[in-house]
Structure 1
Amino acid sequence: MTENIPKIGKRSLIQLAGWSTLAAAAALVGCGKKEEAAPAAPASAPASAAAAKPAPLKIAFAYVGPVGDGGWTFAHDNGRKALEKEFGDKIVTSFVENVPEAADAERVFRDMVGQGNKLIFGTTFGYMEPMLKAAPDAKDVKFEHATGYKTADNLRTYDSRTYEGAYMAGVIAGAMTKTNTLGVVGSIPIPEVIRNINAFTLGAQSVNPKVKTKVVWVNKWFDPPKETEAATSLINGGADVLMQNTDSPAVLKAAQDKGKRAFGWDSDMTAYGPKAHLGSAVINWAPYYIKATRDALEGKWTTGKAWWGVKEGAIDFVSIADDVPAETKAKLETVKAGLKDGSFVIWKGPITDNTGKVVLEKDKAADDEFLGGVKFFVKGVEGKVPGDK
């Protein structure tokens, strides 16, 4: 920062300094002191490593919720911290939390660009259009959008196969339910969430064909009071094992308060309801964030789409409750190993929707295009998808 210098300009200061030097020299001569030749200036040293070191890459994250939500945003922030550990002083990270999925998000992204960030992560579906608007005006910035499907020259998408975690939770739910009624607190009825509800049900049916799944929507990602209300409604309707596709541990807490069982989602939520907790379907964003950052640092970043799961180390199921039967734990490990090496496929026909329509023929495996457009409930899920005619 330049200091403020009152009344006198920098040019005058330079002149005063010159007069002072002349006066000092004259005084030395007057005293009979012999001037010695000034030592030769050392040859210019080669630029030091520090001087040649490039400026750190500035990376910014936009979060839809608070970093302390215990779920979705907490998992993303753990990924950000993993970046700092991996790359050290090669990068500088920052984040803005509670960014709404609305037009104001565009202002946040433009502000991040203005602050010199060259890699920007938008961590929720609703940021897709705001990022698409900001990206063309910042061609030297790389934008990364989580869970979206639209790309641009400097914007790519990334996602985690959360349906794999949902399926594994279902395997346990099917074995642990006593009422054969499962409950899901749904956030927003987009394919991602509908797919997870279906995968949870398919996992449960793989060990218990009698199960049915009830769904209550809250139409928000993070709203603990609404999540609690929805969980209570499901329990009152007979559900004794709950899962959620929302961002807080409110559902797990509600299950513990009511003497029921539930799962952690996105992060390990054991601590929020240890008596109710059956296990947590977690997302590890670190592998992708490290790859994306390395791509940017090495000039290898290109647009495209990434969808990572158990195979890439992005999805796992952890902290299984002690009272889960050994055979159920063994089945879960078999599923996990199959997802990792590709020998097990969750979405493989025959699969029918809850109206009896075949949506996936026998022995046919769903591709990512099919999974990206799931807008139906599978057999066993009660009700209709909101907006479905």
Structure 2
Amino acid sequence: MFSALANSAPLKVAFIYVHPAGESGYSYTHDQARKYVEDVFGDKIEVTVVDSVPDGADVERVLMQLARAGHKLIFPTSFGYMNAVQKVARRYPKVIFEHASGYKQARNVGTYFDRIYEGRYLSGVIAGHMSKSKQAGYVAAYPIPEVIRGINAFTLGMRSVIPDATVNVVWVNSWYDPGKEREAADSLIQQGADVLAQHTNSPASIQAAEAAGVYAVGYHSDMSRFGKNAHLTAPMHLWNDFYVKRINQVLDGSWKPESVWAGFSENMTTLAPLNPAIPPKVVAHIESLKEKIKAGAFHPFTGPVLDQQGETRVPAGTVMNDDALSKMDFYVEGVQGKLPR
């Protein structure tokens, strides 16, 4: 645990985003939570935001500057920041780092993310009910376990409704590149996808779907304003409660490094409002599944789960454990194409 801070000065807190907060997407969700904690804590904290810091060499410099400037709690929010966080944390042992989506911890480094795959699965179920072509397209950023897990959860959800549904994936090798995302989305639609999903940050896929008259599932935040007809829903992050809890722990001296991975049951994951075009019976089914997930009565990766080669990865009657989930490196049955290595 870290010693309680002096009450005479505000706690200096910093947030680092991989791209601009904008009006939707991943950084937007963190920035909305940042605004929330500023309202909650008032003059007890002093907040700095640094955005548009791409994964790479510049991350270490930004982290060093913030640590030297007296920030005692830093939230680096991109997976690609991980090694820089570890390096700077060793140089500044009295600074606390909370790294979003990373898995490396240290005495002064905690990690956190939400079980967004829960929402991914439910969005796949919706896609299964709304698709006529039995084909979905998925615009993806990088082939890391977090992204692969989302693709697989969506596919399992879709195939729970349409057993022979297929999901085509296009990798854009960027978290945020509206041009590449739009090109990928258009290509998937041309290949026959009538529902799109994404693990990227811009609303380009939603806009492509709206223009083409097909459906789409957003990500990170509610993206319905970019395609009111196309947008079915979106798996969304809820960081508010987590940020309040961790800031309080730093303020009262009770903070210690943890690996937090929470979902529907802890109010860290949710779904955006459902499109009115979704039939009431489907809405009721989604609500029922959500409650079962919250209660621990259902898990999206419940066996049997087969990979593309037909090999059993999760036997019937069992659930994939967190270690296997965190290291996922295969496509489930139904995903088309070869996983990049």
TM-score normalised to structure 1 length: 0.85
How many residues matched?
336
1:211 counterpart residue number: 165
Q: CA deviation at 1:210?
A: 2.5
SS of residue paired to 1:178: coil
Among 194, 214, 229, the alignment partner of 1:240 is 194
Separation in structure 1 between the aligned mates of residue 336 and residue 103 of structure 2, nearest angstrom: 28
For the 8 Å contact 1:121–1:146, the answer to whether it is kept is yes
Q: Could you say which residue in structure 1 is the equivalent of 2:8?
A: 54
Does residue 286 of structure 2 align to residue 332 of structure 1? yes
Cα distance in 2 for partners of 1:70, 1:157 equals: 23
**Cα offset, 1:180, TM superposition:** 0.3
2:69 is equivalent to residue 115 of structure 1: yes
Counterpart amino acid of 2:85?
M
SS of residue in 2 equivalent to 1:265: coil
Q: How does 1:160-199 map to 2 (within 5 A)?
A: 160-199=114-153
Q: Pick from 331, 334, 337: which aligns with 1:377?
A: 331
CA distance in structure 2 between the aligned counterparts of 1:325 and 1:377, rounded to whole angstroms: 30
How far apart are the structure 1 equivalents of 2:65 and 2:290? 42
- Corresponding residue for 2:320? 366
Q: Which moved more, 1:200-209 or 1:169-178?
A: 200-209
Residue 264 of structure 1 and its aligned partner are, at CA, apart by 1.8
| Structure-1 separation of matches of 2:187 and 2:54 | 27
Matches within 5 A, 1:25-36: none
Indicate conservation of the 8 Å contact 1:167/1:201, yes or no: yes
Over the matched positions of the two proteins, sequence identity in percent amounts to: 45
Structure 1 segments, 4+ long, off by >2 Å, are: none
Cα deviation digits, residues 322-357 of structure 1 (max 9, x gap): 110111111100111112121111111111001111
Report the residue type matching 1:356 in the other structure: G
| Greater RCO (Cα-Cα under 8 Å, separation 6 or more) | 2
Structure 1 unaligned spans of 5+: 1-51
Letter of the 1:127 counterpart: Y
* One-letter amino acid of the counterpart of residue 243, structure 1: A
Query: 1:80 is matched with which residue?
Result: 34
The one-letter code matched in structure 2 to 1:215 is V
Q: How does 1:101-180 map to 2 (within 5 A)?
A: 101-180=55-134
Q: Matched residues in 1 for 2:242 and 2:203: separation?
A: 25
Following TM superposition, by how much is the alpha carbon of 1:287 offset from its aligned partner in structure 2, in angstroms?
Answer: 1.4
Q: Is the 8 A contact 1:69 1:248 kept in 2?
A: no
Deviation sequence 1:43-101 (CA, Å, 0-9, x none): xxxxxxxxx95211010011001010511000010111111122111111111001010
Separation of aligned partners in 2, 1:345 and 1:280: 19
> How far has the Cα of 1:262 moved from its partner?
0.4
CA contact (8 A) 2:221 2:272 kept: no
Structure-2 residue corresponding to 1:3:
none
| Mapped partners of 1:89, 1:114: distance in 2 | 21
Does the residue aligned with 2:333 lie in a helix, a strand or coil? coil
**Structure 1 counterpart SS, 2:282:** helix
Is residue 185–residue 196 contact of structure 2 (8 Å, CA) maintained in 1?
Answer: yes
| CA shift for structure 1 position 304 | 2.2
Aligned-partner Cα distance in 1 for 2:119–2:47:
29
For 2:7 and 2:336, locate their aligned partners in 1 and report how far apart those are by CA, in whole Å: 60
Q: What is the DSSP-based 3-state SS (H/G/I as helix, E as strand, rest coil) of the residue aligned with 1:340? A: helix
Amino acid at match of 1:214: N
Residue matched to 1:202: 156
Q: For residue 73 of structure 1, give the secondary structure of its aligned residue in structure 2.
A: helix
Matched, 1:274 2:216: no
CA distance in 2, matches of 1:339, 1:119: 32
How far apart are residue 318 of structure 1 and its match?
Answer: 2.1
Which SS does the other structure have where 1:339 is aligned? helix
* Aligned residues of 1:69 and 1:247 also touching (Cα < 8 A): no
Q: Do the aligned partners of 1:191 and 1:372 also contact (CA within 8 Å) in 2?
A: yes
Q: Please, which of 40, 45, 48 is the counterpart of residue 91 of structure 1?
A: 45
Of the three residues 233, 249, 260, the one matched with 2:203 is 249
1:348 to 263, 281, 302: 302
Give unmatched runs, 5+ long, in structure 2: 1-5
Q: Deviations over 1:261-284 (max 9, x none)?
A: 101210011101111111121111
The corresponding residue for 1:222 is 176
Moved more, 347-356 or 201-210: 201-210
Q: How large is the Cα RMSD of the aligned pairs?
A: 1.0
Are positions 1:306 and 2:260 aligned together?
Answer: yes
3-state DSSP of counterpart to 2:219: strand
Aligned match of 1:289: 243
The separation in 1 between residues aligned to 2:149 and 2:83, in whole angstroms, is 22
Query: Rg larger in 1 or in 2?
Result: 1
Query: TM-score, normalization: structure 2?
Result: 0.97
